[in-house]
A and B are shown apart, each in its own frame.
Chain A
Amino acid sequence: MKIVAVTACPSGVAHTYMSAEALERAAKAKGITIKVETQGSIGIENRLTVEEIMEADMVILTKDIGIKEEERFNGKKIVRVGVSDAVKKADQIIEKIEAHLNSKK
């Protein structure tokens, strides 16, 4: 199972990176491959490649502020989460995504 994610928060200094870390930890704990692109106030870092997006089974996007270049994800399975929720409930989010994808098999 492969997940990609983009995180962005209004001030772009804290929640952006904390949520990225939380999601990475949660996915790794379950052995799920994940790559998280951050869109902080410094700009886009750890940019997702076209292949990574193509191969992803699920895309996580934070919904607090607009995501830059969202068109890259047209046609993909997307789930939107609040950036605060991603920080505090990353395990739950990954669990639910896993359940959703497994139920669709």
Chain B
Amino acid sequence: MGDLKVILKDTRKHLMTGVSYMIPFVVAGGILLALSVLLTGKAGVPEKGMLKDLFFIGVAGFTLMIPILAGFIGFSIADRPAIAPAAIAAYVGNEMGAGFFGALIAGLLAGIVVHYLKKIKVPNVMKSIMPIFVIPIIGTFIVAGAMKWGIGGPIAALTASLTAWLQGMQSSSIILLAIIIGLMEAFDMGGPVNKVAYAFVIMTISQGIYNIAGISAVGVCVPPIGMGLATLLAPKKYSGEEREAGKAALLMGCIGITEGAIPFAAADPLKVIPSIMVGAAAGCTSAALFGVTNMAAWGGLIVLPVITGKIGFVISIAIGATVTALMVNALKKIKVVGAEDTSKKSASEEIELSFED
């Protein structure tokens, strides 16, 4: 049971590893799919020719994201032998409607099952057939079987009700969700909290819901674009280094990299972090009100081609960035005696290190 505890303690790391391998599938699939719809010139699936093929290339990317996610969650736990059982089980689950959650569970279950299968003692002659024969067959049978004959149904029901809830969200609840997404994505600028929001967005895309991704596309780029804008509006408040970082941040924001805001947050967290959070929430709310939709699991101006509601999208980014820039520059005007020292100290909350040696 000790083993199980060790595995589950690192659950977050395993899930994130899976997500990290999955991202290119979602991005490639989503953008190509959306491009094919865009180039058709009307809202709908392309009906013929190259565009229809492009559409299916995009769909292929999307379909593969589920087994890949599970496969690499399993890989993170129990290395290569876990990939097949996890991926196959996730695919089976997806056919039943278990989607994203099914993939997460298939990955974890396969990782755990294969971990224990690897421990079975076999005579030396059998050792070489374990990883390519015995473990894949038995592992897949157990995990995919569990999915098909056991947990797949309940997970599918859960997914269906969550999807229905998201689809039916009244305008006021969508705004609340938009605010939360904006706050989370700005809070740690690409860190763990941001990634949880991002995983949620990927899940909604896998269920065919595209307005959340539209909201998120604004949220991830407001912090860096906002801070870049802030350095342009009030250059005297920023050091030479920060003004350079501002230019880089504008660029990073355009390609959807929230991390561009990090140098500013590190230098002056008490004024920067609230400003980017409020700005992101404002931008996200605006995107929700405009009904922006986005089929790609990425953000920033770079996904503009595959956005529906382009004008609303750009306006939302502008709103969010302006709110951030004005707020942070206003806060920077406030000089409290001794604040210079304390802001540096509060930036370095004690970090806990544990050494394995």
Q: Which positions in A face B, CB cutoff 8 Å? A: 9-15, 18, 41, 63-66, 76-85, 87-89, 91-93, 96-97, 100
Please give me the 4 A-B residue pairs with the lowest Cβ-Cβ distance, nearest first.
A77-B357, A14-B259, A84-B191, A10-B20
Q: Give the chain B neighbours of A82 by CB distance below 8 A.
A: 191-192
Selected contact of A85 from candidates B75, B252, B259, B351, CB within 8 Å: B351
Q: Give the chain A neighbours of B257 by CB distance below 8 A.
A: 13-14
Per-residue contact bits, chain B 322-334, to A (CB 8 Å; 1 contact, 0 not): 0000000000000
Q: Give the chain B neighbours of A83 by CB distance below 8 A.
A: 191
Selected contact of A88 from candidates B23, B262, B350, B357, CB within 8 Å: B262
Indicate if B195 sits at the interface (CB-CB under 8 A). Answer: yes
Q: How far apart are B310's CB and chain A's nearest CB, in angstroms?
A: 25
B245-293 residues with Cβ-Cβ distance < 8 A to A are 252, 257-259, 262, 265-266
Are A78 and B357 in contact (CB-based, < 8 A)? yes
What count of chain B residues pass the 8 Å CB interface test? Answer: 31
Indicate if B14 sits at the interface (CB-CB under 8 A). Answer: yes
Known A14-B190, A79-B356, A84-B191: A96·B259 in contact at CB below 8 Å: no
Q: Which positions in B face A, CB cutoff 8 Å? A: 13-14, 16-17, 19-20, 23-24, 75-76, 188, 190-192, 195, 252, 257-259, 262, 265-266, 347-348, 350-351, 353-357
20 residue pairs A–B, Cβ–Cβ below 8 Å: A10-B17, A10-B195, A11-B23, A15-B190, A15-B259, A64-B13, A64-B16, A65-B13, A66-B13, A66-B76, A76-B357, A77-B355, A80-B356, A84-B188, A89-B348, A89-B351, A92-B351, A93-B351, A96-B351, A97-B353
Are B347 and A88 in contact (CB-based, < 8 A)? yes
Q: Give the chain A neighbours of B16 by CB distance below 8 A.
A: 10, 64-65
A80 and B353 CA atoms in complex are apart in Å by 7
Q: How far apart are A66's CB and chain B's nearest CB, in angstroms?
A: 4
Q: How far apart are A45's CB and chain B's nearest CB, in angstroms?
A: 16
Q: Which residue of B lies closest to A40 (CB)?
A: B20
Are B348 and A77 in contact (CB-based, < 8 A)? no
Are A81 and B353 in contact (CB-based, < 8 A)? yes
A13 and B198 CA atoms in complex are apart in Å by 15
Q: Which residue of B lies closest to A91 (CB)?
A: B348
A37 and B24 CA atoms in complex are apart in Å by 22
Q: Give the chain A neighbours of B259 by CB distance below 8 A.
A: 14-15, 18
Q: How far apart are B286's CB and chain A's nearest CB, in angstroms?
A: 25
Q: Give the chain A neighbours of B24 by CB distance below 8 A.
A: 41
Q: Which residue of A lies closest to B355 (CB)?
A: A79
Are B23 and A15 in contact (CB-based, < 8 A)? no
Are B355 and A41 in contact (CB-based, < 8 A)? no
A80 and B265 CA atoms in complex are apart in Å by 23
Q: Give the chain A neighbours of B191 by CB distance below 8 A.
A: 15, 82-84
Q: Give the chain A neighbours of B347 by CB distance below 8 A.
A: 88
Are A41 and B76 in contact (CB-based, < 8 A)? no
Known A77-B357, A85-B351: A66·B190 in contact at CB below 8 Å: no
Are B356 and A78 in contact (CB-based, < 8 A)? yes
Q: Which residue of A lies closest to B257 (CB)?
A: A14
Q: Which residue of B lies closest to A88 (CB)?
A: B266
A82 and B191 CA atoms in complex are apart in Å by 9
Q: Give the chain B neighbours of A93 by CB distance below 8 A.
A: 351, 353
A76 and B252 CA atoms in complex are apart in Å by 37
Q: Give the chain A neighbours of B258 by CB distance below 8 A.
A: 14
Q: Give the chain B neighbours of A88 by CB distance below 8 A.
A: 262, 265-266, 347
Q: How far apart are A22's CB and chain B's nearest CB, in angstroms?
A: 9
Known A79-B353, A87-B262, A100-B355: A11·B190 in contact at CB below 8 Å: yes
Are B355 and A78 in contact (CB-based, < 8 A)? yes
Are A92 and B348 in contact (CB-based, < 8 A)? yes
Q: How far apart are A18's CB and chain B's nearest CB, in angstroms?
A: 6
